[in-house]
Amino acid sequence: MEIPEELVGARVALRHRIGERDGRPLFTDAVGDLAADGAETVVVRTRRGPVRVERSAVVAVRAVPPAPPRRAPLAAVVRLEGICADAWPAVVDRPLGTWRLRAAGGYTARANAALALGDPGLPIAAALDEVRRFAREHGVPPRVHVPVGSPWDRAVAAEGWVLNVGHAKGAEVSVLVAEVADLVPPSGLLIELPTRPSDDWWRLAVGGLPTPAQERVLAGAPDTAFGTLRDQDGGVLGQVRATVVDDHVHVSMLEVVPAARRRGHATALLAAAAVWGRERGARWAVLQVALQNGGARALYDRLGYVEHHRYRYLVPPA
């Protein structure tokens, strides 16, 4: 059937043929955001990932209301935050009850924020005093990393701590996940995935040789690969970092040089990282992206990543 153009970009229920049994056609439904995919196919971005459908197989399509937001169970949020923290190790990671006080010479907010999960073993006001003392001891700003809407988010905010709006890379972050089986490996591209970063990798990542803090954060986690995409002459086109923790591969440091963008290189690097993780037992890929980074979020959405939860950085009031 002809799909009305006004439905492209809308949330739809799309029924399509998937084969036949005993001479009778079989149908299934896909519910999600509808996107065009050339003249012959469309894509429905469902909660389980993208579903690609031949236009000729579509038998019915209609607009449906937006889906209510799905909130991950708190235990799943805590587990995934711990995985991401282990994949991005700070120079100092000191427990405060089940909180983690972290410092890494100021390199990245993630490695220089107290991860507030569970019980700090103190009243919240006293725990936040410990966060301040730890930050002074290590010469970093006091900052708390907390899942949005969690009990610890509400408790820290109740003590007057506010959103870290001065953080240039974004104080609110989306944590996205995808099944690695759904991420297609690249072909025809030279992507190296060594377990130690090359000088070229460091140059693109931090502009040259790393500081001790940068080396600890980026190269301090075990089971990590440092992907580099090169052209036929050996020049660097892009990079990615992948770290396997439990059944997840944490993807970070995705970068493509400006002259090589919009050629599918970021997609290829992400897929290579996912395949590398799958070979080491990962079932899920996880990455973190600032809410203000609309371009990156659109890319991840096209690849089937879905939001698991969000976190934000809170700081003491001025």
User: DSSP characters for 155-175?
Assistant: HHHHTT-EE-TT-TT-SEEEE
Beta strand 114-115 pairing with 144-147: parallel
How far is it, in rounded angstroms, from Cα 228 to Cα 232? 13
Q: What residues form DSSP beta bridges with 241?
A: 226, 252
**In the numeric block, which tokens belong to residue 9?**
């970009």
DSSP result, 291-308:
TT-HHHHHHHHHTT-EEE
Instruction: Provide the sign of the torsion angle of the four alpha carbons 12, 18, 22, 25, taken in this order.
Output: positive
Residue 211 has pLDDT above 90, yes or no: yes
Average pLDDT over residues 207-222: 97
Calculate the average pLDDT of the chain.
Answer: 94
Measured at the CA of 210, the angle between CA 208 and CA 212, to 5 degrees, comes to 160
**In the numeric block, which tokens belong to residue 236?**
């660097």
Same fold, 5-63 and 176-310: no
Instruction: Provide the sign of the torsion angle of the four alpha carbons 131, 134, 139, 140, taken in this order.
Output: negative
More confident position, 184 or 50: 50
pLDDT digits (tens, 9 = 90+) for 148-183: 999 999 999 999 999 999 999 999 999 999 999 877
Q: What percent of the chain has pLDDT over 70?
A: 98
pLDDT digits (tens, 9 = 90+) for 74-106: 999 999 999 999 999 999 999 999 999 999 999
Angle between helices 199-206 and 212-219 (to 10 degrees): 110
Residue 272: strand, helix, or coil: helix
Q: What percent of the chain has pLDDT over 90?
A: 83
How far is it, in rounded angstroms, from Cα 115 to Cα 109? 11
Average pLDDT over residues 210-229: 97
pLDDT digits (tens, 9 = 90+) for 287-313: 999 999 999 999 999 888 999 999 999
How far is it, in rounded angstroms, from Cα 67 to Cα 310? 18
> Is 5-63 in CATH node 2.30.30?
yes
Three-state SS for 56-81 is HHEEEEEECCCCCCCCCCHHHHHHHH
How far is it, in rounded angstroms, from Cα 154 to Cα 178? 28
Report yes or no: 275 and 183 within 8 Å, Cβ to Cβ.
yes
pLDDT digits (tens, 9 = 90+) for 121-130: 999 999 999 9
Residue 109 has pLDDT above 80, yes or no: yes
Q: Domain residue spans in the chain?
A: 5-63, 75-169, 176-310
Give the predicted TM-score (pTM) of the model: 0.79
Burial degree of 203 (CB within 10 A; 0-12, 13-18, 19+): middle
Instruction: Provide the sign of the torsion angle of the four alpha carbons 276, 280, 283, 289, taken in this order.
Output: negative
State the pLDDT at residue 151: 97
More confident position, 167 or 68: 167
Q: What is the largest CA-CA distance in the chain?
A: 74
How far is it, in rounded angstroms, from Cα 133 to Cα 142? 8
Which residues contact residue 127 at a Cβ distance below 8 angstroms, ignoring those fewer than 6 apart?
A: 96, 97, 99, 120, 121
Fold of 176-310: Aminopeptidase (3.40.630)
Which residues contact residue 33 at a Cβ distance below 8 angstroms, ignoring those fewer than 6 apart?
A: 9, 10, 11, 12, 44, 45
| 117-147: b (≥16 Cβ within 10 Å) or e | beebeeebeebbebbeebbeebebbbbbbbb
